[in-house]
Structure 1
Amino acid sequence: MADKAPDSFLYSRPEKVTDGVWSAIGATQPHTYENSGHNNNLSFVITDGGVLVVNAGDNYLLAKSLHDEIRELTDQPVKYVVLENGQGHAMLGMTYWQDQGVPVIAHVDAAREIEENGPALLAQLRQRSRDKAFRTRLGTPDKTFTDRLELTLGGETIEILNLGPAHSPGDIVVWLPERKVVISGDVAFHERLLPVFEDTDTAGWIETWDRFVDLGAEIIIPGHGGPVEGYEEVTRYTRDYLVYMREQVAKILDAGGDLNDAYQIDQSAYAHLDTFHELSRRNAALIFQEMEFEALGF
């Protein structure tokens, strides 16, 4: 994929989603040196009382590039940075923001993930990004929460919510009730195939989806891919994909099948999505293993 902002660490510059809400849409592909680790969405909300940023970015210089763009749009200072989870492209840039005096907020489970996996993620970044990892170091979130954290900026209420299990531990959404906008992080996917990890709770994610829909958002900024109006598209490529895969795996288990059968699940309805070839077989294997453990009562 061609870099849309070749003179910036950002893969693409921020685009206006609605009044006061912007997002720099990342590449819908794996991390590469060329995209500088900008393969997720870096979003922000501008209010009369300051700016809230969602995702610290994959590295120090990428975070600085985003901050430079924010300064072009507003004189309001960045007051908070929220991490969508504990993955590297969400959190490795946090020390840039902390060096500017901006507190970083994360769910308690995301903070635990950063503590446990941070050194390995930093090592991977340095190997992958080489010179682009300059000044990047590990940080620790300044504030953590469990279910809900409410902030007020410029008289506007901003809700940071953990709705339940989803893509990875500590996934949160940022809900702007007055604007009917939700920045969903990795709770919602489209344009690229969602990845299943070893610690992904696919059954729990399906249940969480109902609470996500109950927010009643009119605009959704997903973790990857451009903003959408309403839930139809992200439901098709998130909840419906998970339901389909679990149904297919259940049939295999009921028939006494094995992992090789899971690899043969027909996922062609999703083959047009980016990262399909990298993730489809892996997803099938991990969901099969997850449901094997469920059948054993784990």
Structure 2
Amino acid sequence: MTRTCLAATLYRSTLALMLSAGTAWASEDIADKYPQSELYDKPVQVLPGVYSAIGATAPPTYENSGHNNNLSFVVTGDGVVVINGGASVRLAAALHDEIKAVTDQPVKLVINENGQGHAMLGNAYWADLGVDILAHVDAIHEVEENGDFILQGMERYNRDKAEGTRVVTANLSFEDKHVVEMGDMVLEVLHLGPAHGPGDTQVWIPALSLVIAGDIAFHERMPPIFADTCTSCWIETFDGPFMELGATYVIPGHGHPTNMDLVVAGTSDYLRDLRDKIAAHIDAGGDLAGAYYVDQTRWRHMDTFEELATKNAGRVFEEMEWE
């Protein structure tokens, strides 16, 4: 067995043990796990060449600097691919400092997993360095339409930490699939279908059986459902092409690296359960006011439950009322 294969086997075994033991759970109650950095937590190596700075599972705050999603990067041997631009230029710079502590290879590509602020507001930092930025066409459209509004929201909670951040859209786009061949790595940048929001993007690394899933997959915090989210479409995309990847390892958009079983429970199972509860409520003649109170206690263990459970129920009612 080669040294590379042995290293990969050891990392996979270690990760599998960590996941099965349930030792990687996050908490939304910890304001900042890495106070010497703008990052919420220091990047960890998930598999050989793949690192992720795991964000808070709480809403974005001044204390966590808006780092409430996962900022990942792949060291390919001929450059670094970053997944998510970060919620501000300061956060992007902090991530870059950590990358430079790991490797002297330059960052050659940044991928935005969607058009939300914590995925793209740091784009300005990378663009100023001349780094290409890739996003799905729908995510680019989202930034073009709502970027200024998203920036203003970040400025409200991040105050002085927002200094220097401006809206920069990706200069590269794709629709269904974009293959990145760099160094020793092949990354398939995918849009598998409608899910959590416009332009949801997954990065599939077949050689490692790893998917950097973005916001199609949740397990430690409750999935947020937006006004334009189609939950039936999300389930169809998740249970279909996403599951068909056959990934062994998953870096979700939020929360620690995990496996498919846990993101199925935290995503598809949750969405199905909520839709079943709302369907029963509608069949019984229930209205929107009552929909907010359907029983979701099964999911109370998930972070952001208090912030999202009732909102999600109301949005699913509004969706299903016309199905």
Give the TM-score of the pair, scaled to structure 2.
Answer: 0.89
Q: Distance in 1 between matches of 2:290 and 2:149?
A: 33
Residue 112 (structure 1) aligned with residue 141 (structure 2):
yes
1:193-232 → structure 2 map (5 Å cutoff):
193-209=222-238, 210-228=240-258, 230-232=259-261
Query: Alpha-carbon deviations, 1:213-264, whole Å to 9, x = none?
Result: 1101111000000001x31111001000001111111112222211123122
Aligned partners of 2:220, 2:96: CA distance in 1, in Å?
26
- 1:73-222 superposed matches below 5 A: 73-209=102-238, 210-222=240-252
Query: Which secondary structure state, in structure 2, belongs to the residue aligned with residue 293 of structure 1?
Result: coil
Instruction: Trace 1:253-272 onto structure 2 (pairs within 5 A).
Output: 253-272=282-301
SS of the equivalent of 1:178 reads helix
Q: Distance in 1 between matches of 2:183 and 2:224?
A: 36
1:43 aligned residue = 72
Q: CA deviation at 1:293?
A: 2.5
CA distance in 1, matches of 2:137, 2:193: 13
Aligned to 1:61: 90
* Partner deviation per Cα, 1:3-30 (whole Å, 9 max, x = no partner): 1110110000100101000000000000
Match of 1:233 in 2: 262
Q: Whole-Å Cα distance in 2 between the matches of residues 73 and 178 of structure 1? A: 21
Distance 2:31 2:310 in 1: 26
Q: Is 13-22 or 263-272 further displaced after alignment?
A: 263-272
Distance 2:137 2:187 in 1: 19
Aligned mates of 2:135, 2:168 — CA distance in 1: 12
Structure 2: 5+ residue stretches without partners = 1-29
Secondary structure in 1 matching 2:223: coil
* Matching residue's letter, 1:83: N
Matched with 1:251 is 280
For 1:116 and 1:264, the matched residues in 2 are separated by 33
What per-residue deviation string (whole Å, max 9, x for no partner) do you get for residues 161-186 of structure 1? 00101111000100001111100000
AA matched with 1:212 = F
For the aligned residues, what is the CA RMSD?
0.8
| Residue in structure 1 matching 2:306, options 277, 280, 283 | 277
Task: Give the Cα–Cα distance (whole angstroms) in 2 for the partners of residues 100 and 227 of structure 1.
Answer: 29
After superposing the two structures, state which structure 1 stretch, 232-241 or 123-132, moved more.
Answer: 123-132
Instruction: State how far apart, in whole Å, the 1-side matches of 2:300 and 2:306 are.
Output: 8
Mapped to 2, the partners of 1:268 and 1:249 lie a distance apart of 14
TM-fit CA distance, 1:156: 2.3
1:190 partner amino acid: H
| Residue type at the aligned position of 1:220 | V
Paired residue type of 1:12: D
- Once residues 220 and 41 of structure 1 are traced to their aligned partners in structure 2, the CA distance between those partners, rounded to angstroms, is 12
TM-score by length of structure 1 reads 0.97
- The one-letter amino acid of 1:241's match is Y
- Picking from 45, 50, 53, the partner of 1:16 is 45
User: 1:132 corresponds to which letter in structure 2?
Assistant: K
Code of the residue aligned with 1:259 in structure 2: it is: L
Displacement of 1:155 after TM fit?
Answer: 3.9
Aligned residues with identical type, % of pairs: 54
The alpha-carbon deviation at position 153 of structure 1 amounts to 0.6
Counterpart CA distance in 2 for 1:200 and 1:54 is 23
Distance in 1, Cα, partners of 2:321 & 2:178: 36
Structure 1 runs of 4+ with >2 Å offset: none
